[in-house]
Structure 1
Amino acid sequence: MSGSKGGGEDSSTTTGTEAPLLSVRGLHVAFPGRRGAAAARAVDGVDLDIRRGEIVALVGESGCGKTTLARALLGLVRPTGGRVTFDGASLAYSARALKAYRRRAQLVLQDPSGSLNPRHTVYDIVAEGLRIHGRAGDERTAVAEALARAGLRPPERFFLRYPHELSGGQRQRVVIAGALVLRPELLVADEPVASLDASVRGEILALLLRLRTELGLAALVVTHDLGLAWNIADRVAVMYLGRIVETGPVEQVLTAPRHPYTRALLSVLPEAPGTPVVLTGEPPDPSYVPGGCRFHVRCPVLAGGEAERAGVADACRTTELEILRGGDASQVACHWARADRPAAGRPG
C-alpha cells in the first residue's frame, strides 16, 4: 500500500495496560421486523476498546452494521443487549446523562452538506454546541479556536459565511470544528472523507492525525476503505454481518490478513498484488444470519475447497464462532485461519 503509515507515528499514545476510554462488551442492536418478520440483528455481539489518543478504524462493506454500531456508541441508538462503558462508567440513557456524555464524545458525519443548516452562518453552526450545553466562557474565542484547529484560518474570515459559500473540504472542517468546540475526548467519524474529492481527503486525514497529537483525542473512524485505515489507524476492526471478524494492529491485519473476508477486501485495492477476489452476492439479510460461520455462504476458501482440505469445512457450515474479545491483541473469527495447516497454506 502506498503512502506513509500515519497512524503509527505516535505509538506512545496507547499502551496495553491503561484502561480503555471507551469499552463495549457483548453489544447487540436489533430492529423489529415488519409484519411479524424476524428482527434484524444489525449489531450481533461486539466487543471493542478504544484507548485515549488511539485511532481505531472500523471497516467493512455497506450494510454490515458499522454505522449502527457507531451510533450505539454515542447513545443515538439504544442497544438491545450488552453495555457501553466510557471512562469507567456505564453509559446511561436518561436525557441528562446523554447530554453530559455528548460533551465528551462527538459525531462527525460523512456528508457535510447534509449536516450543516444552510440558513445558519459558520459562526452559529460552530457555536450551537456551546449554546446547547451552556458552556461558560467567551463564545467568540471558543468558536475562533475551534475553526483554527480545524484548519480554517484566519477563523474570523469564515464567521459570516454560509455553507453554500464553502468548498466540500471547508464544509467538512466546519463539521469538525463544531465537534471540537466542546473539547471532546472521543470523535466518532462516520466515513469522514467519503464525499470529498481525492485531493482533499488527505488533508482531512492529516487534520485528524494532528488533532490526535495536539489534543490527545481518541477516534473511531468508520470506513469501507482499507487504504484509509492504513494511513490513519493504530488498530483496525473488520466487521461483517453485525460482528467483528478480525481485529489487531493495522499493519499486522493489513499486511498479513487471516480472515478470507479481510483478504477479499484488501485484494480490490489498486495497489494490491494478484487477482482481486470477487465475493459472490451481497451480505445476507441480518434478519436471517446463516448458521455456522456467518461468512461461509460467500467464503472463497470454502467454495474453493481449501477449508475441506484443512478439515474444517463442516465446522464452517455448522459451528458458530465466539465473539472476539476487546483489547489490543490480534484475533480472527475463522475456522480455517485457526486450523493447523501446512505453512505454505497460511495467508499473508
Structure 2
Amino acid sequence: MTTAPPPLLSAQDLHVTFPGRHGAAPARAVDGVELDIGAGEIVALVGESGCGKTTLARTLLGLVPPTSGRVSFAGKPLEYSSRALKAYRRRVQLVLQDPSGSLNPRHTVYDAVAEGLRIHGYGGDERSAVAQALSRAGLRPPERFFLRYPHELSGGQRQRVVIAGALVLEPELIVADEPVASLDASVRGEILALLLRLRTELGLSALVVTHDLGLAWNIADRVAVMYLGRIVETGAVEQVLTAPRHPYTQALLSVLPDAPGTPVLLTGDPPDPSRIPSGCRFHARCQILTNGEAERAGVAEACRGRELEVLGGGGERQVACHWARATV
C-alpha cells in the first residue's frame, strides 16, 4: 500500500496573536488554522478585509513567526534562523498586489528581476536567468525590457516583472496576495492565465490570497474561506462555490455580479480579532440566525454558545457551521 506524499506546504494548529495597544485585549489574527497545499495545486484563501488571510500568508512565508503551531515545508518544520529562512525563500516566493509599490522606481527591469539572484549568491549566468524569467512571465523578447524603468511599463507589464522576480529563483510555490486587485479588468484575465500556465509548465504550486470569489473560481483547484482567524469552509472550488454551505460563504457569493437572488447584506459589527465571540464566531452577523432558520433547525443556542472545532487542512469538503451540519 502506497502512502500519499506529504503536502508541499502545511500549517498545523497555527495561531498568531498580536499584543493589544494601550491595554486592549490581544488580537488573535490567526486563531487555529490547518491548511495544506499539495505539489502543483492552486489554493485560494478567501475572505473580507480583516479576516486574517494576509497574516496567515505572511506566517506561511516565514515573515511572521507563529505564536503557536507550526509551518512545515516538504514534510519538515520551518526553522526561523536567518540561514534557514534564506534557504526557504528560494523555494517559496511572494507576489504582492501592487506592482508599483513592489518595484523600486530607480531600478531597471533587469535589476529588479536580478535582485533575488544577487541576494542568494547565484553562481550561474545571471543575464540568461533574468531573460528566462521575463520570458516565462510573458515579456518577450526579454532583452527589450532589460533597460526599461517601471514608469515606462503598463500595469500588467509591471505585474509580470514582479512575477518574473519571483520566478527567477525557480521556486516550488508562490504566495500571491491579491495578484490582480490593482489591474484593469482587461488585464486580470491575462495574469490569471499566466499563473495557470506556470502551474502547467513548471509544476508550480500557489496560494492565492483574495477577497474575490470570482477570481478563486477562475484559478483555484481548492478554496478555503476564512473568517475572524479561522477557516470556516473548504473544499474543491466547484463544490464550495456552486453549493456553499456556510452562511458567510453564501453571503460573499451573493454579491457577485451574476449571482442569483437578492444580495445578503451582513449586519452587526465587522470582525474584530481582539473580541472573538462565544459559539460560532460568525453568529453575530449570521443571516441564518437572524431569519429564524437556525431556530427551526434546533441549533440557535449552539450557534451562540458552542464553539466549533478547527477544520482539517486536507482537500475534503468541510464546513464549520452548526446549521449546515444539522441540515445536511
- TM band (smaller chain): over 0.9
Give the corresponding residue for 1:254: 241
% identical aligned pairs: 83
Give the corresponding residue for 1:214: 201
SS at match of 1:160: coil
Give the corresponding residue for 1:110: 97
CA apart distance, 1:281: 3.7
Q: Describe the superposition over 1:231-260 as per-residue Cα deviations: whole angstroms up to 9, x where unpaired.
A: 000000000000000000000000010000
Q: Describe the superposition over 1:137-193 as per-residue Cα deviations: whole angstroms up to 9, x where unpaired.
A: 100000000000000000000000000000000000000000000000000000000
> 5+ residue gaps in structure 2?
none
Q: After the TM superposition, list the runs of 4 or more consecutive aligned residues in structure 1 that deviate by more than 3 angstroms.
A: none
SS at match of 1:102: helix
Give the corresponding residue for 1:184: 171
CA distance in 1, matches of 2:218, 2:272: 32
Q: Describe the superposition over 1:291-348 as per-residue Cα deviations: whole angstroms up to 9, x where unpaired.
A: 0000000000000000000000000000000000111100000000000x3xxxx6xx
CA distance in 2, matches of 1:293, 1:283: 15
CA apart distance, 1:284: 2.5
CA distance in 2, matches of 1:58, 1:285: 19
Do residues 231 (structure 1) and 232 (structure 2) align? no
Task: Tell me which of 304, 307, 315 is aligned to 1:317.
Answer: 304
Query: Does the Cα contact within 8 Å between 1:59 and 1:66 map onto a contact in 2?
Result: yes
CA distance in 1, matches of 2:270, 2:31: 14
Report the residue type matching 2:240 in the other structure.
Answer: V
Give the corresponding residue for 2:147: 160
Task: Tell me which of 66, 70, 76 is aligned to 1:89.
Answer: 76
CA apart distance, 1:285: 1.3
Query: Does the Cα contact within 8 Å between 1:64 and 1:283 map onto a contact in 2?
Result: no
Give the corresponding residue for 2:160: 173
CA distance in 2, matches of 1:18, 1:170: 37
CA distance in 2, matches of 1:235, 1:194: 20
CA distance in 1, matches of 2:8, 2:108: 34
CA distance in 1, matches of 2:107, 2:157: 15
Task: Tell me which of 206, 212, 229 is aligned to 1:242.
Answer: 229
Query: Does the Cα contact within 8 Å between 1:27 and 1:82 map onto a contact in 2?
Result: yes
CA distance in 1, matches of 2:16, 2:155: 33
Give the corresponding residue for 1:125: 112
> 5+ residue gaps in structure 1?
1-15
Query: Does the Cα contact within 8 Å between 2:50 and 2:271 map onto a contact in 1?
Result: no
SS at match of 1:214: helix
CA distance in 1, matches of 2:63, 2:183: 25
Give the corresponding residue for 1:101: 88
Q: CA RMSD in A?
A: 1.1
CA apart distance, 1:136: 1.4
Do residues 326 (structure 1) and 298 (structure 2) align? no
Give the corresponding residue for 1:21: 8
The normalised TM-score by structure 1 is 0.93
Query: Does the Cα contact within 8 Å between 1:56 and 1:235 map onto a contact in 2?
Result: yes
Give the corresponding residue for 1:75: 62
The normalised TM-score by structure 2 is 0.98
CA apart distance, 1:47: 0.1
Report the residue type matching 1:88 in the other structure.
Answer: G
CA distance in 2, matches of 1:234, 1:49: 12
Task: Tell me which of 275, 280, 287 is aligned to 1:293.
Answer: 280
Query: Does the Cα contact within 8 Å between 1:54 and 1:218 map onto a contact in 2?
Result: yes
CA distance in 2, matches of 1:105, 1:120: 23
